Amino acid sequence: MQDVQEMKYLPSFGRKRARGLSETQKNNLVHLYETYGIEIPEKKIDPRTLFNIPFEKIFVEVGFGHGEHLIQNAMQNPKVGFIGCEPFENGVAATLKEIQDNNLQNVRIHKGDARLVLEKLQKNTIDRVYVLFPDPWHKKRHHKRRILSAEFIDNLRKNQVKELVVATDCKEYMESVLENMAQLKIPALDNIETLSQKPDWFLSTRYEQKALAKDDKCYYLKVELTVS
């Protein structure tokens, strides 16, 4: 069923599995997913209903990879409910284990395309969406696979998502995001070089570390999509 739903969007991700999953990983994907996983709801829902605790804010992380940022963020912000979406099963299995080991009550995971989850969350219920080091799809003919399209950003805005946080080491991708923002008349910074200063609030990600280890520049953007 989920695969049929995923065909709704051109995939913005690469492989769903790197190598054979160990028995423990397979087990986590079944048993820990029963506790922390979420399926695509049939109707639009208030994301607060996904948790056993009433949270003040809801943050969504699109493409959390192996979950380092998601887990750190959830540990540092126990009053925020986090929804992480990621189709890459090895990363999902590792993240589920971290959620359990740290007894985190404020994280829910969807093993699949974030766009299918976001479109089922009621208006004005999401405080922040993170898209960190999205697959760059360097070749021009693949640009249509980039998740941060004008349509994606516009859907967030229409759904009254308050803030969007983006980071990437692909300058041309960040430029395209700024162009999409300009097209949608969302005020964002127009001087890309100022975005290469790492903000002190930014928690690290695996792909950021890889880029910095190669001395590649990274770009960080936080934009208000709706003014409350």
Ligand X SMILES: C[S@@+](CC[C@H](N)C(=O)[O-])C[C@H]1O[C@@H](n2cnc3c(N)ncnc32)[C@H](O)[C@@H]1O
Q: Which residues are catalytic?
A: 135
Q: Does 98 help bind ligand X (rule: CB under 6 A)?
A: no
Given the complex with ligand X, which of 86 and 98 has the nearer CB atom? Answer: 86
Residues 194-213 contacting ligand X, CB under 6 A: 205-208
Q: Does 65 help bind ligand X (rule: CB under 6 A)?
A: yes
Burial label for 214, CB within 10 Å (0-12, 13-18, 19+), is exposed
Q: Among residues 89, 98, 113, 169, which is the contact residue for ligand X, using CB under 6 A? A: 113
Given the complex with ligand X, which of 33 and 133 has the nearer CB atom? Answer: 133
Q: Does 90 help bind ligand X (rule: CB under 6 A)?
A: no
Q: Does 84 help bind ligand X (rule: CB under 6 A)?
A: no
Tell me the H-state helices in the chain: 2-6, 23-27, 33-36, 68-76, 89-101, 114-118, 150-158, 171-183, 206-213
- Sign of the CA dihedral 64, 68, 69, 72? positive
Q: Is beta strand 163-168 parallel, antiparallel or unpaired with respect to 219-224?
A: antiparallel
Contact letters (x/-) for ligand X, 145-184, by CB under 6 A? Answer: --x-------------------------------------
Task: Identify the CA nearest to 135 among candidates 18, 216, 15.
Answer: 15
Residue pair 68/137 in contact (Cβ under 8 Å)? The answer is no
How far apart are the C-alpha atoms of 90 and 28, rounded to whole Å? 10
Q: Does 89 help bind ligand X (rule: CB under 6 A)?
A: no
Contact letters (x/-) for ligand X, 6-35, by CB under 6 A? Answer: ------xx----------------------
Binding site for ligand X (CB under 6 A): 12-13, 62-65, 85-88, 91, 113-115, 132-135, 147, 205-208
